[in-house]
């Protein structure tokens, strides 16, 4: 291992095995299955003309409620009926396969582009109730964690399932703090980027490059190896991010300071100049820590799904994390905070918000930082972020774009276009304002999302690896292309 022997790394320390077993067996669910019960198809015409339930029907419904949850499907092509088990509010897509038009038929599949109604895994990490605006990590409400926890403690909770004891937290923080250094060759690698390279591009590349430095990471079914890669990834992400930032400024890299907190050290690596010892402003340090808590996990979002998908091929966690970071980069996901700032700058003044909203409603633009696949209510993270913004502005001065953002929110929350579509501010709407006030350029905004999300990605990855039901992720397709045809020589083509 490349860092062996360096005093700042803990490679030669005894690596404790996880104290909480990761392979806790799932509660036994009723077996899934499908079987034809050979009932004749119902007479749809009669049912449609008879809206009042006759007494025998109501009685049979009562009896049905006493039975295990099942779904009866009638295949009108064949007249066959199938009874499919419902477990945890889902049916198994594979149970549909036995429903065939004839013996040559492949069997029925479900079609769900963008997974809008498909659960791809059983998870115990984060819980979201999108209608009520609830987010919990391992059962703990996000608001409570933001108030009482720290990012490193929350990362432990997300990965281990329980809040750490004092000793466990000290051990955890020690290991992460002592894995913040990166190999000098990574610095050379960063030096190869143009001065104006987007820091997310640099981050994705350097995370992927870490896989070449730690070949032991391929041992993904070894819990000790997974633990070590977890320390390394959580420890090194701020260093990679800060070095990418310093590279874009042409500033010398500032090395990690082990005496500072996770976010204090990150601020040190970003902003240290000539002072011998960087001392982070405690308000900004805490604000960043809370922002990191709020971004630590968010169940099966695009990047978590990328992490699981790529990880399902059993690649090392650095390669999978690079893929997840790439997914996060997109403007519809973690790149949205950058786009919000650009949008607010484009609006330029409170007076021009109405005109921008008109263009959004005409379908010409999107209101960035609004809307969410799951939340159909105010994003609970956005509420906390609004409070943090005030604290940061007290230190750094009020961001003039805040007035524009507030006007945007005011108009949108009253406008039928947004109300009827249940579009509310999401996590990205206010974060950009805070980051900008703290002195970050817009290109760093998605990077500030990727750092804390690493804990969530690793938890999702490990959960996937240890889930006996998971295999390499490989969706089906509905092929609507050409049937087989003969090759046409070039001279015969039109």
Please say which residue, 161 or 371, places its beta carbon nearer to ligand ACO: 371
Is the Cβ–Cβ distance between 329 and 453 less than 8 Å? no
CA nearest 253: which of 202, 319, 293? 202
For residue 343, the minimal CB distance to ligand ACO (Å) is: 10
In whole angstroms, give the CA distance from residue 448 to residue 443: 10
Contacts (CB under 6 A) with ligand ACO, residues 164-203: none
372 annotated active-site: yes
Please say which residue, 181 or 375, places its beta carbon nearer to ligand ACO: 375
Contacts of 61 (CB under 8 A, 6+ apart): 53
Residue with tokens 């993904």: 220
Is residue 332 involved in binding ligand ACO (CB under 6 A)? yes
415 annotated active-site: no
Q: What are the CA-CA distances from residue 156 to residues 220, 305, 349, 449 (Å)?
A: 19, 21, 43, 18
Helix segments in 113-183, DSSP class H: 142-148, 151-160, 166-177
Please say which residue, 70 or 118, places its beta carbon nearer to ligand ACO: 118
Please say which residue, 133 or 223, places its beta carbon nearer to ligand ACO: 133
Tokens standing for residue 263: 């976010």
Please say which residue, 85 or 382, places its beta carbon nearer to ligand ACO: 382
In whole angstroms, give the CA distance from residue 137 to residue 161: 9
Is the Cβ–Cβ distance between 11 and 69 less than 8 Å? no
428 annotated active-site: yes
- Rg over CA atoms, the chain: 26
Contact letters for ligand ACO, residues 333-372 (x by CB under 6 A): xx-x-----------------------x-----xxxxxxx
Contact letters for ligand ACO, residues 366-405 (x by CB under 6 A): xxxxxxxx--------------------------------
For residue 302, the minimal CB distance to ligand ACO (Å) is: 7
In 397-436, which positions are buried (b, 16+ CB within 10 angstroms) versus exposed (e)?
eebebbebbebbbeebeeeeebeeeebbbbbbbbbbbbbb
Is residue 423 involved in binding ligand ACO (CB under 6 A)? yes
Of 190-198, 423-431, 433-441, 468-476, which segment contacts ligand ACO by CB under 6 A? 423-431
Residue with tokens 């500032």: 254
Contacts (CB under 6 A) with ligand ACO, residues 214-253: none
Is residue 92 involved in binding ligand ACO (CB under 6 A)? no
Is the Cβ–Cβ distance between 14 and 174 less than 8 Å? no
In whole angstroms, give the CA distance from residue 124 to residue 22: 11
Is the Cβ–Cβ distance between 138 and 157 less than 8 Å? yes
For residue 480, the minimal CB distance to ligand ACO (Å) is: 22
Q: How many residues at the interface with ligand ACO, by CB under 6 A?
A: 18
Contact letters for ligand ACO, residues 141-160 (x by CB under 6 A): --------------------
Give 40-100 as a DSSP string: PPP-HHHHHT--SPPHHHHHHHHHHHHSPPEEEEEETTTTEEEEEE-BTTB--GGGGGG--
For residue 19, the minimal CB distance to ligand ACO (Å) is: 32
| Catalytic residue selected from 9, 178, 372, 379 | 372
CA nearest 197: which of 233, 246, 129, 235? 246
| Catalytic residue selected from 69, 333, 415, 467 | 333
Of 193-201, 207-215, 343-351, 418-426, which segment contacts ligand ACO by CB under 6 A? 418-426
Of 10-18, 326-334, 440-448, 485-493, which segment contacts ligand ACO by CB under 6 A? 326-334
What is the set of active-site residues?
Answer: 333, 372, 428
Using CB under 6 A as the criterion, which residues of the chain lie in contact with ligand ACO when the complex forms? Answer: 332-334, 336, 360, 366-373, 421, 423, 426-428
């Amino acid at each position: 291992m490349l860092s062996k022997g360096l005093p700042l790394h803990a490679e030669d320390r005894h690596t404790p095995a996880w104290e909480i077993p990761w392979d806790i067996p799932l509660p036994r669910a009723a077996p899934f299955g499908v079987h034809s019960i050979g009932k004749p198809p119902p007479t749809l015409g009669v049912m449609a003309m008879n809206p009042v339930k006759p007494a025998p029907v109501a009685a049979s419904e009562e009896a049905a409620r006493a039975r295990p949850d099942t779904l009866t499907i009638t295949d009108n092509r064949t007249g066959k009926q199938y009874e499919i088990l419902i477990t945890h509010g889902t049916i198994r897509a594979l149970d549909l396969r036995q429903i065939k038009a004839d013996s040559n038929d492949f069997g029925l599949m479900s079609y769900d582009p963008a997974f809008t109604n498909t659960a791809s895994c059983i998870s115990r990490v984060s819980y979201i109730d999108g209608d009520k605006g609830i987010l919990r990590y391992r059962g703990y409400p996000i608001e409570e964690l933001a108030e009482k926890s720290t990012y490193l403690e929350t990362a432990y909770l997300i990965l281990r399932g329980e809040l750490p004891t004092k000793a466990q937290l000290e051990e955890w923080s020690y290991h992460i703090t002592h894995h913040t250094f990166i190999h000098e060759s990574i610095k050379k690698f960063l030096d190869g980027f143009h001065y104006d390279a987007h820091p997310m591009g640099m981050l994705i590349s350097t995370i992927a490059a870490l896989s070449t430095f730690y070949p032991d990471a391929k041992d993904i079914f070894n819990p000790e190896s997974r633990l070590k890669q977890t320390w390394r990834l959580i420890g090194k992400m701020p260093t990679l991010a800060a070095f990418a930032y310093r590279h874009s400024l042409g500033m010398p890299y500032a090395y990690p300071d082990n005496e500072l907190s996770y976010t204090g050290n990150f601020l040190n690596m970003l902003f240290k100049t000539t002072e011998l010892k960087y001392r982070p402003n405690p308000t900004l340090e805490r604000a960043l820590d809370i922002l990191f808590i709020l971004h630590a996990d968010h169940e099966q979002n695009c990047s978590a799904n990328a992490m699981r998908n790529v990880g399902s091929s059993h690649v090392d966690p650095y390669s999978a994390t690079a893929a997840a970071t790439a997914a996060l980069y997109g403007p519809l996901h973690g790149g949205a905070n950058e786009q919000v700032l650009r949008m607010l700058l484009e609006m330029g003044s409170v007076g021009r918000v109405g005109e921008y909203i008109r263009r959004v409603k005409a379908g010409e633009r999107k209101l960035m930082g609004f809307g969410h696949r799951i939340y159909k209510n105010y994003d609970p993270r956005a509420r906390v972020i609004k409070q943090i913004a005030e604290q940061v502005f007290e230190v750094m001065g009020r961001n003039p774009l805040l007035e524009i953002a507030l006007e945007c929110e005011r108009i949108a929350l009253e406008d039928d276009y947004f109300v009827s579509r249940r579009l509310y501010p999401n996590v990205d709407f206010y974060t950009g304002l805070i980051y900008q006030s703290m002195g970050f350029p817009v290109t760093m905004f998605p990077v500030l999302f990727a750092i804390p999300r690493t804990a969530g990605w690793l938890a999702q990855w490990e959960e996937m690896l240890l889930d006996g039901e998971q295999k390499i992720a490989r969706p089906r397709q509905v092929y609507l292309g050409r049937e087989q045809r003969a090759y046409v020589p070039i001279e015969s083509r039109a």
